[in-house]
Amino acid sequence: MAAAEETSSDGPKPDEYAERKPAFTVVCLGVGGGPLETNCSCYLMKPTDATWEESTFMVEGGSFLGTLASLLRDAGKPDSPFYDVSCDENDDEDVRAGKFNALIRSALISHGHLDHIFGLVLASAAQRGQRPIYGTDDTLQTIRGMFNGRHWPPLASFDATDPLALYHLRRLFCKQTEIIAPNVQVTPFSVSHGKSLIPPEEGSEKAEAVPGDSNKLFGKDVVDMPSTAFLLTNTRLERDVLFFGDVESDETGNTMTNHNVWLSVAHLFVKKRLSTIFIECSYTDAQPRDMLFGHFCPKLLYQDLRDFARCVVAYRKTGNAESTDVTDEECIGALSGLRCVIIHVKGLVIDCTKFLNRNHNLCTSYEGAPLFTQAIAAQISDHEAEGRLGVRFHIAKRGERLEC
């Protein structure tokens, strides 16, 4: 792996990582945040101690069956992310994708933005049985809106007895655990994805705001856009992975939602149950704060990880992650053993400032995704070199397999 894509400072020795046993196998079907439709958020997962046939589930539903089909061309070969999948050699890639799709027990969706659901919607036409789709009420109401008979046939419903309900929409509630596949449970946490110009459905969850919250975006009325973080637990191994949907920092969102997640999982890291966090970083530090649109940049991401480190140190000292008596010096190396997988990097990024100023003569050059990824990786490396939390960073790649 290139040095620019995985970094650590004052990190743990290799054996310290080894003792934090992986909980899940992850194949990344899509890791980006658009605008390329071929690389949008979608992950296939299973417990590391189970086969794909036994306990496969999906997290996010962006670039789904098309990518799955391409990756299954070489299924069973040593260098394939699906080296442990046996396929009939007479089946073409589309048939292989259809058969693998039938193995997926359920899907988790963090929020209803199109880059997280379009593959899920299209794939409903290939369903041959009912599949549970889990999310918060706001997320599921948005998904149901796509199946309105105009955008797509009404193949999703909250009513499992609906004969057209190929997708059974099943509500998740904040901090309430749900079993979603054999030996897999999820605990959802509400997080903030910035401001939305579209009011949420009545009764939907909102981010937990603090006083001073702005209610305007470019002069228009806005509301909080909720998203979800999922704590995924392999109940047989008693190991966990934390997966964030699109999310902004507590500072830019003027919330405490991320902090509440860190408080809830600090003890799992200390007990060496949690070793991997999937979290987005969509833009570089050059992106203006008021144009992050509910996303992270490296500086703000590292700032949030420092908050996690304080919670971890506090728990180690007092058994209570809420303690505030933690110094920056005590945070050095506090997250040794943590792997942070960076997802949702934007591709083909244009300078938003120039566009919004309507200076179209300056809007002709784009930053390609590889260069943008390298810049984010380099900036995260710089922040870790200065902060020395001990985090090992990895930029996720489309088509790769990770043991987490």
Summarised one tens digit per residue, pLDDT across range 169-209 is 999 999 999 999 999 999 999 999 998 766 555 555 544 44
CATH code, domain carrying 26: 3.60.15.10
Higher pLDDT among residues 16 and 98, named by residue: 98
Whether residue 2 has pLDDT greater than 90: no
Tell me the percentage of the chain whose pLDDT exceeds 90: 75
Cα 86 from Cα 89, distance rounded (Å): 9
Q: Hey, which bits of 80-119 come out as E strands?
A: 104-108
Helices (H) and strands (E) in the chain, counts: 12, 17
User: What's the mean pLDDT in 160-168?
Assistant: 96
Q: Give per-residue pLDDT as tens, 273-328.
A: 999 999 999 999 988 888 899 999 999 999 999 999 999 999 999 999 997 789 99
Alpha-carbon gap, residue 291 to 195, rounded angstroms: 11
| Total domains present in the chain | 1
What letter does residue 327 receive in the DSSP assignment?
-
pLDDT of the residue at 208 = 46
The tally of CA atoms less than 13 A away on the side-chain side of residue 123 is 31
The dihedral through the CA atoms of 316, 12, 394, 9 has a sign that is: positive
63 close to 40: Cβ distance less than 8 angstroms: yes
Q: Is residue 204 within 8 Å of 226, Cβ to Cβ?
A: yes
Domain of residue 123, residue span: 3-403
For residue 369, the model assigns a pLDDT of: 58
Q: Considering the chain, what percentage of its residues have pLDDT values greater than 70?
A: 83
Least confident of 168-182, 209-223, 235-249: 209-223
Convert the pLDDT of each residue in 11-65 to its tens digit: 444 445 556 789 999 999 999 988 889 999 999 999 999 999 999 999 999 999 9
Compute φ and ψ for 66, nearest 5 degrees.
Answer: -60, -45
Residue-level pLDDT at 196: 77
Contacts of 47 (CB under 8 A, 6+ apart): 23, 24, 25, 55, 183, 184, 234, 236, 237
pLDDT band at residue 217 using 50, 70 and 90 as cut-offs: low
Q: Are 171 and 160 in contact (CB under 8 A)?
A: no
Residue with the larger pLDDT of the pair 187 and 362: 187
Long-range contacts of 311-316 (CB under 8 A, 24+ apart): 311/259, 311/262, 311/263, 311/266, 312/266, 312/269, 312/270, 314/266, 315/266, 315/267, 315/270, 316/270
Amino acid at the residue 95: V
Q: Mean pLDDT across the stretch 255-277?
A: 97
Which helix H or strand E contains 259, and what residues bound it? helix 257-270
Alpha carbon 124 to its chain centroid, in Å, reads 22
Residues 4, 375: Cα–Cα separation, whole Å: 9
User: Which of 127, 132, 81 has the alpha carbon at shortest distance from 109?
Assistant: 132
Q: What is the mean pLDDT of the chain?
A: 88
The reported pLDDT for the residue numbered 173 is: 98
Per-residue model confidence (pLDDT) at position 12: 45
User: In the structure, what pLDDT confidence band is assigned to residue 222 with cuts at 50, 70 and 90?
Assistant: confident
Question: What burial class does residue 358 get, using C-beta atoms within 10 Å of its C-beta: 0-12 exposed, 13-18 middle, 19+ buried?
Answer: exposed
DSSP-H helix ranges across 64-155: 65-71, 93-101, 118-123, 137-146
Section 372-393 average pLDDT: 95
